[in-house]
Amino acid sequence: PTAERSLVLVKPDGVARGLVGQVVARLEAKGLRLVAAELRTLTVEVAEEHYGEHRERPFFGSLVEFITSGPLLALVVEGPRAIEAFRALAGATDPVKAAPGTIRGDFALEVQNNIVHGSDSPESAAREIALFFPGLG
Ligand code: DAT
Ligand code: MG
C-alpha cells in the first residue's frame, strides 16, 4: 500500500505554547497530507483508553492529568510510511535525547511535556484513529 495513516496529536503543551503552526508546517513540508483535524479537550476516559498500554506505569496518572489539562489538536495524516515518517519528525520520546531538528529536539525539555504524539505501529494507528475519529472511513 502506498498510503498509510497515523494519528498525530499536538499535546496541550504544544497548543498552549503556540506551536501548532510549526508542527503542522513541518509535517506538511515533509509531504504528509491532512485527513482530519480537531481541537478538543480529552475526557479522562478517552485519555486512559488512548494511553492504555501505559496503565501500569508509575507516570500513568500524571500523563492522563497532563493530556486532559487543556485543548489538544488531533490530526490524522496520510502518506507513504506515514507512521515512521512522523515519528522521525517528532524525535525520541525524551526531548533531551531527541536530535536537534526534530520537533521534540527543538521545542521540548521534559519527557512528559514532549509536544507531540504519533502512532507507533499500524495496529496502534488503527486503534487510535478509531478512538479519536470514529466516523473516519
Ligand atoms: P512516545 O510518545 O514517544 O510514543 P511512549 O509511548 O513510550 O512514548 O510514552 C507515551 C508518553 O508518556 C510519552 O510521550 C511521554 C510519557 N512518558 C513516557 N515515558 C515517561 C517517563 N519515564 N516519565 C514520564 N513520562 C513518560
Ligand atoms: Mg507511544
C-alpha closest to that of 12 among 63, 73, 62:
73
Residue 49 within a domain: yes
Residue 121 within a domain: yes
Residue 137 within a domain: no
C-alpha closest to that of 91 among 101, 102, 100, 82:
102
Look up the CATH number of the domain holding residue 37. Answer: 3.30.70.141
Residues near ion ligand 2 (CB < 5 Å) are 120
pTM to 2 decimals?
0.98
Q: Is the ipTM of this complex over 0.90?
A: yes
d(C-alpha 125, C-alpha 121), whole Å: 6
Q: Is 103 in the pocket of ligand 1 (CB under 6 A)?
A: no
Q: Is 93 in the pocket of ligand 1 (CB under 6 A)?
A: yes
The total number of structural domains in the chain stands at 1
Running along the chain, 137 residues long, what does each successive block of 10 average in pLDDT? 91 98 98 98 98 98 98 98 98 98 98 98 98 93
